[in-house]
């Protein structure tokens, strides 16, 4: 499949009598929807705006689900272009998000946490309801769903697209990105009381939970969480990074074990984690 065929052609509106065509890739589209979504999230949640702006929640959910759908499709496309189509014998209509998710689970063997899958399905349902019906939205519930979908997308992006989704978020929305991560990975649940509580550290704690695999050679190794080591540590919190049992060590922690060689992850040399040690 050549590069042109890999691009979606979109015919835009007639404008000034000319038919303007733009070409855009699945991923570019996904990032556009994501940035739009965060913009709506900002309008719906920031205290400076009037109460009626809460209605923008609708668009933020619709657009983040759209971004998720396109990212799923890009991952399927990389596996094999034919997986993008509903009927592989008659490649005409592309798959729905639900089918894309189903294929990702079965073909690419993505293990989805039950909780993530529940939230994704809830978000899809809300998106469908927003489009097709008048519905009443519970803002607190929307916030929980939005935060979870956003974190899921960051994590999914690390694993399957090998880069940080942050690189595609416009700078004006970095504050919202941080807010969503810090809310999702609440320090009181994850860290020892006396741990460093600077914002930078808390963001590293959050990012460390989203980065779940090391790729060594061409093989993926699931990172070893604190407490999962063969000679498990006894205390409730890691003596170096202060993370709670059952969570991933913070990048650069002395006590993280390499999933390939069982040595010390920061020094064994199996993989390059320098990117995360800034």
Closest approach, Cβ 113 to Zn ion, in A, equals 22
- What separation in angstroms does the CA of 144 have from each of 140, 147, 196? 6, 5, 26
The dihedral of CA 210, 180, 72, 122: what is its sign?
positive
Residue 240 binds Zn ion (CB under 5 A): yes
Which residue, 2 or 188, has its beta carbon nearer to Zn ion? 188
Find all residues with CB under 8 Å of 196, minimum gap 6, and list them.
Answer: 242
Give dist(CA 266, CA 278) in Å, integer: 13
CB closer to Zn ion, 62 vs 205? 205
Interface with Zn ion includes 260 (CB under 5 A)? yes
- Which one of 12-20, 129-137, 193-201, 243-251 is the stretch in contact with Zn ion (CB under 5 A)? 243-251
The answer to whether residue 238 forms part of the interface with Zn ion (CB under 5 A) is: yes
Which distant-in-sequence residues (6+ apart) come within 8 Å of 178 by Cβ? 199, 203
- What is the rounded distance in angstroms from the CA atom of residue 160 to the CA atom of residue 27? 13
* Least distance CB 194 / Zn ion (angstroms): 15
- Among 206, 253, 257, 266, which residue sits at the site for Zn ion (rule: CB under 5 A)? 253
Kindly state the smallest distance separating residue 260's Cβ from Zn ion, in Å.
Answer: 5
Q: Assess contact for 259 and 214: CB atoms under 8 A.
A: yes
Q: Contact between 258 and Zn ion (CB under 5 A)? A: yes
Which residues contact Zn ion by CB under 5 A?
238, 240-241, 249, 253, 255, 258, 260-261, 263, 268, 270
């Amino acid at each position: 499949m050549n590069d042109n065929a890999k691009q979606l052609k979109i015919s835009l509106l007639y404008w000034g009598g000319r038919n303007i065509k733009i070409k855009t890739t699945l991923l570019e589209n996904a990032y556009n929807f994501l940035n739009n979504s965060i913009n709506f999230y900002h309008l719906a949640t920031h205290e400076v705006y009037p109460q009626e702006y809460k209605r923008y929640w609708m668009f933020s959910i619709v657009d983040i689900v759209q971004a998720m759908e396109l990212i799923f499709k890009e991952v399927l496309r990389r596996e094999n272009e034919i997986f993008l189509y509903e009927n592989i014998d008659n490649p005409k209509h592309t798959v729905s998000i639900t089918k894309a998710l189903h294929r990702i689970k079965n073909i690419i063997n993505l293990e989805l946490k039950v909780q993530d899958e529940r939230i994704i399905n809830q978000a899809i349902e809300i998106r469908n309801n927003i489009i097709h019906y008048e519905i009443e939205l519970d803002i607190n519930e929307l916030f929980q769903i939005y935060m979870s979908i956003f974190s899921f997308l960051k994590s999914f992006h690390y694993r399957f697209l090998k880069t940080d989704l942050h690189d595609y978020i416009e700078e004006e929305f970095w504050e919202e990105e941080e807010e969503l991560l810090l809310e999702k990975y609440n320090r009181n649940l994850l860290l020892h009381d006396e741990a460093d509580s600077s914002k930078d550290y808390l963001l590293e704690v959050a990012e460390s939970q989203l980065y779940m695999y090391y790729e060594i050679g061409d093989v993926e190794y699931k990172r070893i969480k604190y407490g999962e080591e063969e000679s498990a540590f006894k205390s409730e919190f890691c003596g170096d990074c202060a993370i709670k049992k059952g969570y991933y060590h913070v990048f650069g922690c002395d006590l993280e074990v390499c999933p390939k060689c069982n040595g010390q992850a920061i020094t064994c040399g199996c993989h390059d984690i320098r990117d995360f040690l800034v």
